[in-house]
Copies of this chain bind each other. A is one copy, B any other.
Amino acid sequence: MTEVIVLNGGSSSGKSGIVRCLQATLPDPWLAVGVDTLIEAMPASMRTSDAGIEFAPDGTVLVGPEFRLLEAAWIEGVAAMARAGARVIVDEVFLGGAASQQRWRKALDGLRVLWVGVRCESAIAAGREIARGDRITGMAASQADVVHQGVKYDVAVDTTKTEAMECARIIAAHVARSLPNTY
């Protein structure tokens, strides 16, 4: 039985909607955490300093050493929640591609993980970013492809023409039969 679902995709690819549909669809209660949760937990000053996380006006995201330290401890904490019995959905943006997946893989060692890729055509994601109105323009386009580089998935969905609820059903069908964390 799957213990952790990790969703990876660029900004405005529709991950959060899929997470909420998964929580509504899956029979057990699942906790949902993610990089947005982490950023909100950090001091406001970390959102604007070189050492923390910076959102450039063109949508590029720069991550500094202090952010990485807190993030590493936070990832350990999320893994511990799963080991303590909570089923956890992680909503992530692998800015470092395969290297980011590797960080999670190590922390989740021994847990049964379902790795899910959430794709969306860059131009469509850029339009949805404007429709949302609460994100810096350019993040969607700059992240659409790079976050998937070298990342391995158990299942991939594409929100370009598939609704969040339908994506959640596809993912949920893989939850029951998932095997131990192998990537």
Cross-interface CB contact of A29 among B70, B128, B133, cutoff 8 Å: B70
From A21, A31, A42, A78, name the one whose CB has the most chain B CB atoms within 10 angstroms: A31
- Which residues of chain B are within 8 angstroms of A77 by Cβ–Cβ distance? 77-81, 84, 86
Is the C-beta of A105 less than 8 angstroms from some C-beta in chain B? no
Is the C-beta of A18 less than 8 angstroms from some C-beta in chain B? yes
Is the C-beta of A76 less than 8 angstroms from some C-beta in chain B? yes
Known: A73-B86, A164-B127. A41 touches B33 (CB 8 A): yes
From A70, A77, A85, A86, name the one whose CB has the most chain B CB atoms within 10 angstroms: A77
B69 touches A128 (CB 8 A): no
A20 touches B163 (CB 8 A): no
A32 touches B23 (CB 8 A): no
Interface stretch, picked from A43-51, A92-100, A111-119, A141-149, is: A43-51
- Which residues of chain B are within 8 angstroms of A31 by Cβ–Cβ distance? 41-42, 70, 73-74
- Which residues of chain B are within 8 angstroms of A164 by Cβ–Cβ distance? 127-128, 130-131
> A74–B18 Cα gap in the complex (Å)?
22
New contact pairs (12) apart from A73-B82, A77-B79, A77-B80, CB-CB < 8 Å: A24-B43, A24-B45, A29-B42, A31-B74, A32-B41, A37-B41, A69-B85, A77-B77, A80-B80, A127-B164, A130-B165, A131-B163
List 5 tightest A-B contacts by C-beta distance, closest first: A80-B80, A77-B81, A17-B131, A73-B86, A127-B165
